[in-house]
Structure 1
Protein backbone atom coordinates (compact mmCIF):
# COMPACT_ATOMS: atom_id res chain seq x y z
CA UNK A 1 0.00 0.00 0.00
CA UNK A 2 1.47 3.37 -1.04
CA UNK A 3 1.51 6.43 1.20
CA UNK A 4 -1.54 8.07 -0.41
CA UNK A 5 -3.60 4.88 -0.13
CA UNK A 6 -2.47 4.47 3.49
CA UNK A 7 -3.53 8.04 4.31
CA UNK A 8 -6.94 7.51 2.73
CA UNK A 9 -7.41 4.26 4.68
CA UNK A 10 -6.60 6.09 7.92
CA UNK A 11 -9.04 8.90 7.08
CA UNK A 12 -11.77 6.36 6.35
CA UNK A 13 -11.05 4.57 9.64
CA UNK A 14 -11.27 7.90 11.46
CA UNK A 15 -14.68 8.55 9.92
CA UNK A 16 -15.83 5.00 10.66
CA UNK A 17 -14.97 5.16 14.37
CA UNK A 18 -16.38 8.66 14.89
CA UNK A 19 -19.64 7.94 13.07
CA UNK A 20 -22.80 7.33 15.11
CA UNK A 21 -23.46 4.50 12.63
CA UNK A 22 -20.69 2.55 14.40
CA UNK A 23 -22.72 0.40 16.85
CA UNK A 24 -20.83 0.64 20.16
CA UNK A 25 -23.94 1.41 22.23
CA UNK A 26 -22.70 4.82 23.39
CA UNK A 27 -25.66 6.49 21.63
CA UNK A 28 -27.91 5.16 24.42
CA UNK A 29 -26.25 7.44 27.00
CA UNK A 30 -27.24 10.99 27.94
CA UNK A 31 -24.72 11.56 30.79
CA UNK A 32 -27.30 13.32 32.94
CA UNK A 33 -28.77 15.38 30.10
CA UNK A 34 -32.15 13.63 30.28
CA UNK A 35 -32.47 14.40 34.00
CA UNK A 36 -31.64 18.07 33.51
CA UNK A 37 -34.12 18.39 30.65
CA UNK A 38 -36.95 16.71 32.56
CA UNK A 39 -36.23 18.92 35.57
CA UNK A 40 -36.40 21.98 33.31
CA UNK A 41 -32.81 22.94 34.18
CA UNK A 42 -31.52 22.72 30.61
CA UNK A 43 -33.79 24.39 28.07
CA UNK A 44 -31.87 26.09 25.28
CA UNK A 45 -29.01 25.59 22.80
CA UNK A 46 -26.86 27.85 24.99
CA UNK A 47 -27.59 25.67 28.04
CA UNK A 48 -26.69 22.60 26.02
CA UNK A 49 -23.46 24.11 24.78
CA UNK A 50 -22.46 25.00 28.34
CA UNK A 51 -23.32 21.45 29.46
CA UNK A 52 -21.14 19.93 26.73
CA UNK A 53 -18.29 22.36 27.37
CA UNK A 54 -18.29 21.49 31.09
CA UNK A 55 -18.26 17.77 30.33
CA UNK A 56 -15.38 18.14 27.86
CA UNK A 57 -13.18 20.39 29.96
CA UNK A 58 -13.98 19.25 33.52
CA UNK A 59 -14.80 15.58 33.19
CA UNK A 60 -14.27 13.66 29.96
CA UNK A 61 -11.05 15.46 29.07
CA UNK A 62 -9.14 15.10 32.35
CA UNK A 63 -10.41 11.54 32.99
CA UNK A 64 -11.59 9.50 29.99
CA UNK A 65 -9.23 11.13 27.49
CA UNK A 66 -6.21 10.90 29.80
CA UNK A 67 -6.87 7.19 30.31
CA UNK A 68 -7.46 6.73 26.58
CA UNK A 69 -4.14 8.38 25.72
CA UNK A 70 -2.19 6.17 28.13
CA UNK A 71 -3.98 3.06 26.86
CA UNK A 72 -3.19 4.06 23.28
CA UNK A 73 0.49 4.59 24.09
CA UNK A 74 0.64 1.23 25.84
CA UNK A 75 -1.06 -0.51 22.92
CA UNK A 76 1.27 1.20 20.44
CA UNK A 77 4.33 -0.42 22.05
CA UNK A 78 2.64 -3.74 22.73
CA UNK A 79 2.40 -3.14 26.48
CA UNK A 80 -1.01 -4.52 27.41
CA UNK A 81 -0.20 -4.16 31.10
CA UNK A 82 -0.22 -0.39 30.56
CA UNK A 83 -3.63 -0.76 28.91
CA UNK A 84 -4.91 -2.74 31.91
CA UNK A 85 -3.48 -0.14 34.29
CA UNK A 86 -5.26 2.69 32.45
CA UNK A 87 -8.49 0.69 32.61
CA UNK A 88 -8.13 0.07 36.36
CA UNK A 89 -7.28 3.71 37.09
CA UNK A 90 -10.23 5.01 35.08
CA UNK A 91 -12.56 2.55 36.81
CA UNK A 92 -11.34 3.78 40.21
CA UNK A 93 -11.71 7.41 39.11
CA UNK A 94 -15.28 6.93 37.85
CA UNK A 95 -17.26 7.36 41.04
CA UNK A 96 -20.83 7.05 39.73
CA UNK A 97 -21.85 3.39 39.65
CA UNK A 98 -24.20 3.76 36.68
CA UNK A 99 -21.46 5.44 34.67
CA UNK A 100 -19.06 2.59 35.39
CA UNK A 101 -21.72 0.09 34.38
CA UNK A 102 -22.55 1.79 31.09
CA UNK A 103 -18.84 2.31 30.30
CA UNK A 104 -18.29 -1.43 30.74
CA UNK A 105 -21.28 -2.37 28.59
CA UNK A 106 -20.36 -0.05 25.74
CA UNK A 107 -16.70 -1.09 26.01
CA UNK A 108 -17.59 -4.75 25.68
CA UNK A 109 -19.90 -3.99 22.76
CA UNK A 110 -17.08 -2.08 21.05
CA UNK A 111 -14.60 -4.90 21.69
CA UNK A 112 -17.00 -7.48 20.23
CA UNK A 113 -17.51 -5.36 17.11
CA UNK A 114 -13.79 -4.64 16.75
CA UNK A 115 -12.75 -8.30 16.96
CA UNK A 116 -15.29 -9.08 14.25
CA UNK A 117 -14.04 -6.21 12.07
CA UNK A 118 -10.25 -6.25 12.50
CA UNK A 119 -7.77 -9.08 13.02
CA UNK A 120 -5.42 -8.19 15.87
CA UNK A 121 -3.79 -10.21 18.65
CA UNK A 122 -4.30 -7.48 21.28
CA UNK A 123 -8.06 -7.53 20.72
CA UNK A 124 -8.06 -11.29 21.13
CA UNK A 125 -6.07 -11.07 24.37
CA UNK A 126 -8.39 -8.40 25.74
CA UNK A 127 -11.40 -10.61 24.98
CA UNK A 128 -9.77 -13.36 27.05
CA UNK A 129 -9.06 -10.84 29.83
CA UNK A 130 -12.75 -9.89 29.87
CA UNK A 131 -13.81 -13.53 30.05
CA UNK A 132 -11.48 -14.07 33.01
CA UNK A 133 -12.55 -10.85 34.74
CA UNK A 134 -9.05 -9.37 34.51
CA UNK A 135 -10.09 -6.08 32.91
CA UNK A 136 -13.10 -3.79 33.32
CA UNK A 137 -13.22 -3.19 29.56
CA UNK A 138 -14.19 0.48 29.83
CA UNK A 139 -15.20 2.12 26.57
CA UNK A 140 -12.40 4.77 26.34
CA UNK A 141 -9.76 2.08 26.91
CA UNK A 142 -11.10 -0.22 24.22
CA UNK A 143 -11.55 2.76 21.89
CA UNK A 144 -7.84 3.53 22.34
CA UNK A 145 -6.79 0.02 21.31
CA UNK A 146 -9.22 -0.02 18.39
CA UNK A 147 -7.83 3.32 17.20
CA UNK A 148 -4.33 1.88 17.23
CA UNK A 149 -5.54 -1.27 15.44
CA UNK A 150 -7.15 0.92 12.76
CA UNK A 151 -3.78 2.68 12.27
CA UNK A 152 -5.00 6.01 13.59
CA UNK A 153 -2.59 8.35 15.32
CA UNK A 154 -3.04 9.13 19.01
CA UNK A 155 -4.43 12.55 18.10
CA UNK A 156 -6.93 11.23 15.58
CA UNK A 157 -8.06 8.48 17.95
CA UNK A 158 -8.83 11.07 20.61
CA UNK A 159 -10.58 13.36 18.12
CA UNK A 160 -12.69 10.43 16.88
CA UNK A 161 -13.61 9.60 20.48
CA UNK A 162 -14.54 13.19 21.36
CA UNK A 163 -16.44 13.75 18.13
CA UNK A 164 -18.43 10.58 18.75
CA UNK A 165 -19.07 11.65 22.35
CA UNK A 166 -20.32 15.12 21.41
CA UNK A 167 -22.44 14.00 18.45
CA UNK A 168 -23.97 11.26 20.59
CA UNK A 169 -25.09 13.85 23.13
CA UNK A 170 -26.32 16.18 20.40
CA UNK A 171 -28.39 13.31 19.08
CA UNK A 172 -29.76 12.79 22.60
CA UNK A 173 -30.62 16.51 22.80
CA UNK A 174 -32.51 16.27 19.51
CA UNK A 175 -34.50 13.28 20.76
CA UNK A 176 -35.27 15.20 23.97
CA UNK A 177 -36.48 18.18 21.90
CA UNK A 178 -33.89 20.59 23.30
CA UNK A 179 -32.62 21.53 19.82
CA UNK A 180 -33.24 20.76 16.16
CA UNK A 181 -30.82 19.28 13.63
CA UNK A 182 -29.64 22.64 12.29
CA UNK A 183 -29.00 24.01 15.79
CA UNK A 184 -27.07 20.82 16.62
CA UNK A 185 -24.70 21.48 13.72
CA UNK A 186 -24.09 25.03 14.99
CA UNK A 187 -23.34 23.76 18.50
CA UNK A 188 -20.94 21.14 17.12
CA UNK A 189 -19.08 23.80 15.14
CA UNK A 190 -18.92 26.10 18.19
CA UNK A 191 -17.32 23.30 20.23
CA UNK A 192 -14.49 22.64 17.76
CA UNK A 193 -11.98 24.69 19.77
CA UNK A 194 -13.07 23.02 23.00
CA UNK A 195 -12.55 19.57 21.48
CA UNK A 196 -9.07 20.50 20.29
CA UNK A 197 -8.08 22.03 23.62
CA UNK A 198 -9.51 19.06 25.52
CA UNK A 199 -7.03 16.83 23.70
CA UNK A 200 -4.12 19.23 24.13
CA UNK A 201 -4.75 19.62 27.87
CA UNK A 202 -4.90 15.85 28.39
CA UNK A 203 -1.70 14.93 26.58
CA UNK A 204 0.65 15.90 29.42
CA UNK A 205 -1.34 14.46 32.35
CA UNK A 206 -0.26 11.29 34.13
CA UNK A 207 -2.80 8.65 35.09
CA UNK A 208 -2.35 9.71 38.71
CA UNK A 209 -3.26 13.30 37.76
CA UNK A 210 -6.72 12.52 36.40
CA UNK A 211 -9.45 14.68 37.89
CA UNK A 212 -13.04 15.80 37.37
CA UNK A 213 -15.28 18.53 38.77
CA UNK A 214 -18.86 18.55 37.49
CA UNK A 215 -20.94 18.16 40.68
CA UNK A 216 -24.28 19.34 39.23
CA UNK A 217 -23.96 17.00 36.26
CA UNK A 218 -22.85 14.13 38.50
CA UNK A 219 -25.93 14.58 40.67
CA UNK A 220 -28.14 14.70 37.57
CA UNK A 221 -26.64 11.38 36.47
CA UNK A 222 -27.37 9.88 39.88
CA UNK A 223 -30.99 11.06 39.73
CA UNK A 224 -31.50 9.61 36.27
CA UNK A 225 -32.34 6.09 37.39
CA UNK A 226 -35.21 7.47 39.49
CA UNK A 227 -36.94 9.16 36.56
CA UNK A 228 -40.39 7.80 35.83
CA UNK A 229 -39.85 7.82 32.07
CA UNK A 230 -36.42 7.34 30.47
CA UNK A 231 -35.18 7.28 26.89
CA UNK A 232 -31.54 6.75 27.80
CA UNK A 233 -29.49 4.41 29.96
CA UNK A 234 -27.79 7.22 31.89
Structure 2
Protein backbone atom coordinates (compact mmCIF):
# COMPACT_ATOMS: atom_id res chain seq x y z
CA UNK A 1 0.00 0.00 0.00
CA UNK A 2 1.13 3.57 -0.64
CA UNK A 3 2.20 5.77 2.27
CA UNK A 4 -0.40 8.35 3.40
CA UNK A 5 -0.07 11.68 1.61
CA UNK A 6 0.23 15.06 3.24
CA UNK A 7 -2.85 17.28 3.25
CA UNK A 8 -1.37 19.48 0.53
CA UNK A 9 -0.45 16.51 -1.65
CA UNK A 10 -3.98 15.12 -1.26
CA UNK A 11 -5.53 18.42 -2.26
CA UNK A 12 -3.32 18.64 -5.35
CA UNK A 13 -4.25 15.09 -6.35
CA UNK A 14 -7.92 15.89 -5.71
CA UNK A 15 -7.68 18.80 -8.15
CA UNK A 16 -5.76 16.72 -10.69
CA UNK A 17 -8.40 13.98 -10.85
CA UNK A 18 -11.33 16.45 -10.88
CA UNK A 19 -9.82 18.64 -13.59
CA UNK A 20 -11.17 18.43 -17.13
CA UNK A 21 -7.51 18.49 -18.20
CA UNK A 22 -7.24 14.90 -16.88
CA UNK A 23 -7.84 12.74 -19.99
CA UNK A 24 -10.31 10.11 -18.79
CA UNK A 25 -12.97 10.78 -21.43
CA UNK A 26 -15.70 11.47 -18.87
CA UNK A 27 -15.94 15.12 -19.94
CA UNK A 28 -17.16 14.05 -23.39
CA UNK A 29 -20.44 12.75 -21.90
CA UNK A 30 -23.71 14.69 -21.64
CA UNK A 31 -25.84 11.90 -20.08
CA UNK A 32 -28.76 12.65 -22.39
CA UNK A 33 -28.54 16.42 -21.98
CA UNK A 34 -27.58 17.00 -25.60
CA UNK A 35 -30.67 15.19 -26.89
CA UNK A 36 -33.00 17.01 -24.50
CA UNK A 37 -31.60 20.39 -25.55
CA UNK A 38 -31.74 19.70 -29.28
CA UNK A 39 -35.27 18.31 -28.94
CA UNK A 40 -36.38 21.44 -27.09
CA UNK A 41 -37.27 19.56 -23.90
CA UNK A 42 -34.73 21.31 -21.68
CA UNK A 43 -34.20 25.06 -21.73
CA UNK A 44 -32.65 27.48 -19.28
CA UNK A 45 -30.91 27.32 -15.92
CA UNK A 46 -33.91 26.21 -13.87
CA UNK A 47 -34.61 23.12 -15.96
CA UNK A 48 -30.90 22.30 -16.10
CA UNK A 49 -30.66 22.43 -12.32
CA UNK A 50 -33.64 20.07 -12.04
CA UNK A 51 -31.96 17.72 -14.54
CA UNK A 52 -28.76 17.69 -12.49
CA UNK A 53 -30.63 17.19 -9.22
CA UNK A 54 -32.51 14.22 -10.65
CA UNK A 55 -29.28 12.65 -11.86
CA UNK A 56 -27.61 13.18 -8.48
CA UNK A 57 -30.39 11.91 -6.24
CA UNK A 58 -32.19 9.34 -8.42
CA UNK A 59 -29.35 7.83 -10.41
CA UNK A 60 -25.68 8.64 -9.85
CA UNK A 61 -25.95 8.99 -6.08
CA UNK A 62 -27.75 5.67 -5.66
CA UNK A 63 -25.87 3.61 -8.26
CA UNK A 64 -22.49 4.94 -9.43
CA UNK A 65 -21.56 6.43 -6.08
CA UNK A 66 -22.56 3.31 -4.15
CA UNK A 67 -20.37 1.16 -6.40
CA UNK A 68 -17.52 3.66 -6.09
CA UNK A 69 -17.63 3.59 -2.29
CA UNK A 70 -17.64 -0.20 -2.10
CA UNK A 71 -14.87 -0.42 -4.68
CA UNK A 72 -12.79 2.09 -2.72
CA UNK A 73 -13.23 0.13 0.50
CA UNK A 74 -12.33 -3.09 -1.26
CA UNK A 75 -9.26 -1.48 -2.79
CA UNK A 76 -8.22 -0.02 0.56
CA UNK A 77 -8.38 -3.52 2.02
CA UNK A 78 -6.40 -5.07 -0.86
CA UNK A 79 -9.55 -7.00 -1.80
CA UNK A 80 -9.82 -6.86 -5.58
CA UNK A 81 -12.66 -9.38 -5.53
CA UNK A 82 -14.74 -6.69 -3.80
CA UNK A 83 -13.75 -4.26 -6.55
CA UNK A 84 -14.79 -6.77 -9.21
CA UNK A 85 -18.09 -7.37 -7.42
CA UNK A 86 -18.84 -3.63 -7.36
CA UNK A 87 -18.08 -3.48 -11.08
CA UNK A 88 -20.34 -6.46 -11.82
CA UNK A 89 -23.22 -5.12 -9.71
CA UNK A 90 -23.04 -1.69 -11.31
CA UNK A 91 -22.98 -3.20 -14.79
CA UNK A 92 -26.12 -5.21 -13.99
CA UNK A 93 -27.82 -2.13 -12.52
CA UNK A 94 -27.02 0.07 -15.55
CA UNK A 95 -29.89 -0.74 -17.88
CA UNK A 96 -29.18 1.63 -20.79
CA UNK A 97 -26.69 -0.04 -23.15
CA UNK A 98 -25.19 3.25 -24.31
CA UNK A 99 -24.51 4.23 -20.71
CA UNK A 100 -22.78 0.92 -20.06
CA UNK A 101 -20.57 1.27 -23.13
CA UNK A 102 -19.54 4.85 -22.38
CA UNK A 103 -18.87 3.94 -18.75
CA UNK A 104 -16.58 1.16 -19.95
CA UNK A 105 -14.79 3.40 -22.44
CA UNK A 106 -14.15 6.18 -19.95
CA UNK A 107 -13.20 3.67 -17.24
CA UNK A 108 -10.61 2.00 -19.44
CA UNK A 109 -9.26 5.38 -20.53
CA UNK A 110 -8.96 6.38 -16.87
CA UNK A 111 -7.22 3.11 -16.02
CA UNK A 112 -4.73 3.57 -18.84
CA UNK A 113 -3.88 7.14 -17.81
CA UNK A 114 -3.69 6.28 -14.11
CA UNK A 115 -1.42 3.28 -14.73
CA UNK A 116 0.99 5.58 -16.53
CA UNK A 117 0.82 8.15 -13.72
CA UNK A 118 0.83 6.17 -10.47
CA UNK A 119 2.68 2.92 -9.77
CA UNK A 120 0.30 0.53 -8.05
CA UNK A 121 -0.10 -3.23 -8.22
CA UNK A 122 -3.90 -3.04 -8.21
CA UNK A 123 -3.92 -0.88 -11.33
CA UNK A 124 -1.60 -3.37 -13.02
CA UNK A 125 -3.87 -6.26 -12.02
CA UNK A 126 -7.00 -4.49 -13.25
CA UNK A 127 -5.30 -3.80 -16.58
CA UNK A 128 -4.67 -7.53 -16.88
CA UNK A 129 -8.26 -8.28 -15.85
CA UNK A 130 -9.54 -5.90 -18.53
CA UNK A 131 -7.37 -7.54 -21.18
CA UNK A 132 -8.73 -10.96 -20.19
CA UNK A 133 -12.36 -9.78 -19.99
CA UNK A 134 -12.63 -10.38 -16.24
CA UNK A 135 -13.89 -6.89 -15.43
CA UNK A 136 -16.05 -4.33 -17.22
CA UNK A 137 -13.91 -1.41 -15.99
CA UNK A 138 -16.87 0.89 -15.34
CA UNK A 139 -15.70 4.43 -14.70
CA UNK A 140 -16.94 4.90 -11.07
CA UNK A 141 -15.27 1.65 -9.99
CA UNK A 142 -11.97 2.46 -11.66
CA UNK A 143 -12.15 6.00 -10.27
CA UNK A 144 -12.38 4.51 -6.78
CA UNK A 145 -9.22 2.43 -7.21
CA UNK A 146 -7.39 5.35 -8.80
CA UNK A 147 -8.41 7.57 -5.89
CA UNK A 148 -7.02 5.09 -3.39
CA UNK A 149 -3.87 4.45 -5.47
CA UNK A 150 -3.18 8.17 -5.77
CA UNK A 151 -3.43 8.65 -2.02
CA UNK A 152 -6.88 10.21 -1.68
CA UNK A 153 -9.13 9.46 1.27
CA UNK A 154 -12.52 7.88 0.65
CA UNK A 155 -14.30 11.20 1.14
CA UNK A 156 -11.97 13.10 -1.19
CA UNK A 157 -12.35 10.41 -3.83
CA UNK A 158 -16.14 10.73 -3.60
CA UNK A 159 -16.02 14.52 -3.80
CA UNK A 160 -13.54 14.48 -6.67
CA UNK A 161 -15.83 12.13 -8.61
CA UNK A 162 -18.94 14.23 -7.99
CA UNK A 163 -17.12 17.48 -8.73
CA UNK A 164 -15.89 16.19 -12.09
CA UNK A 165 -19.36 14.80 -12.87
CA UNK A 166 -21.17 18.08 -12.17
CA UNK A 167 -18.46 20.20 -13.78
CA UNK A 168 -18.54 18.05 -16.91
CA UNK A 169 -22.29 18.46 -17.29
CA UNK A 170 -22.19 22.19 -16.63
CA UNK A 171 -19.47 22.47 -19.27
CA UNK A 172 -21.67 20.52 -21.67
CA UNK A 173 -24.58 22.85 -20.95
CA UNK A 174 -22.39 25.87 -21.73
CA UNK A 175 -21.25 24.34 -25.02
CA UNK A 176 -24.86 23.56 -25.91
CA UNK A 177 -25.88 27.16 -25.23
CA UNK A 178 -28.25 26.36 -22.33
CA UNK A 179 -26.46 28.61 -19.82
CA UNK A 180 -23.51 30.96 -19.56
CA UNK A 181 -20.44 30.72 -17.33
CA UNK A 182 -21.92 32.87 -14.54
CA UNK A 183 -25.08 30.77 -14.39
CA UNK A 184 -22.95 27.62 -14.25
CA UNK A 185 -21.22 28.87 -11.11
CA UNK A 186 -24.55 29.74 -9.50
CA UNK A 187 -25.99 26.29 -10.26
CA UNK A 188 -22.85 24.61 -8.94
CA UNK A 189 -23.28 26.44 -5.63
CA UNK A 190 -27.02 25.65 -5.43
CA UNK A 191 -26.29 21.93 -5.87
CA UNK A 192 -24.11 21.68 -2.76
CA UNK A 193 -26.98 20.44 -0.51
CA UNK A 194 -27.89 17.80 -3.10
CA UNK A 195 -24.27 16.65 -3.30
CA UNK A 196 -24.22 16.30 0.49
CA UNK A 197 -27.44 14.26 0.43
CA UNK A 198 -26.05 12.02 -2.33
CA UNK A 199 -22.91 11.36 -0.29
CA UNK A 200 -24.91 10.50 2.83
CA UNK A 201 -27.28 8.17 1.00
CA UNK A 202 -24.57 6.31 -0.90
CA UNK A 203 -22.38 5.83 2.18
CA UNK A 204 -25.14 3.91 3.95
CA UNK A 205 -26.20 1.65 1.06
CA UNK A 206 -25.11 -1.88 0.20
CA UNK A 207 -24.49 -2.96 -3.39
CA UNK A 208 -27.76 -4.88 -3.35
CA UNK A 209 -29.64 -1.71 -2.42
CA UNK A 210 -28.63 0.20 -5.56
CA UNK A 211 -31.57 1.59 -7.55
CA UNK A 212 -32.39 4.28 -10.06
CA UNK A 213 -35.53 5.99 -11.33
CA UNK A 214 -34.93 8.50 -14.13
CA UNK A 215 -37.04 7.21 -17.03
CA UNK A 216 -37.16 10.59 -18.79
CA UNK A 217 -33.37 10.86 -18.76
CA UNK A 218 -32.91 7.18 -19.65
CA UNK A 219 -35.03 7.63 -22.78
CA UNK A 220 -33.02 10.71 -23.72
CA UNK A 221 -29.81 8.70 -23.40
CA UNK A 222 -31.20 5.99 -25.65
CA UNK A 223 -32.33 8.56 -28.23
CA UNK A 224 -28.98 10.33 -28.25
CA UNK A 225 -27.22 7.74 -30.42
CA UNK A 226 -29.86 8.25 -33.14
CA UNK A 227 -29.07 11.94 -33.53
CA UNK A 228 -27.59 13.01 -36.88
CA UNK A 229 -25.23 15.57 -35.29
CA UNK A 230 -23.63 15.08 -31.90
CA UNK A 231 -21.06 16.97 -29.84
CA UNK A 232 -20.98 14.40 -27.05
CA UNK A 233 -20.63 10.64 -26.75
CA UNK A 234 -23.81 10.18 -24.72
| Offset of residue 72 of structure 1 | 0.2
Q: Which runs of 4+ in 1 moved over 2 A?
A: none
| Offset of residue 228 of structure 1 | 1.6
| Offset of residue 226 of structure 1 | 1.1
1:27 aligns with 2:38: no
1:153 aligns with 2:153: yes
Give per-residue Cα distances to partners, 1:147-185, cap 9 Å, x unaligned.
001111111101100000000000000010000111111
1:195 aligns with 2:200: no
**Structure 2, unpaired ranges of 5+:** none
Structure 2 distance, partners of 1:196, 1:151, is 22
Alignment of 1:126-165 (within 5 A): 126-165=126-165
Q: Is the 1:18–1:163 contact (alpha carbons within 8 Å) kept by the matching residues of 2?
A: yes
Q: Tell me what 1:56 maps to.
A: 56
| Offset of residue 196 of structure 1 | 1.5
Structure 2 distance, partners of 1:20, 1:187, is 18
Alignment of 1:50-129 (within 5 A): 50-129=50-129
Structure 2 distance, partners of 1:21, 1:228, is 28
Q: Give the SS at the match of 1:199.
A: helix
Q: TM-score, normalised by structure 2?
A: 0.97
Q: Tell me what 2:171 maps to.
A: 171
Give per-residue Cα distances to partners, 1:26-85, cap 9 Å, x unaligned.
111100001100111110100000000000000000000000000000000000000000
Give per-residue Cα distances to partners, 1:168-222, cap 9 Å, x unaligned.
0000000100001111111111111111211111001000000000000000111
Structure 1 distance, partners of 2:113, 2:150, is 13
Structure 2 distance, partners of 1:119, 1:55, is 33
Structure 1 distance, partners of 2:39, 2:149, is 42
Structure 1 distance, partners of 2:31, 2:161, is 15
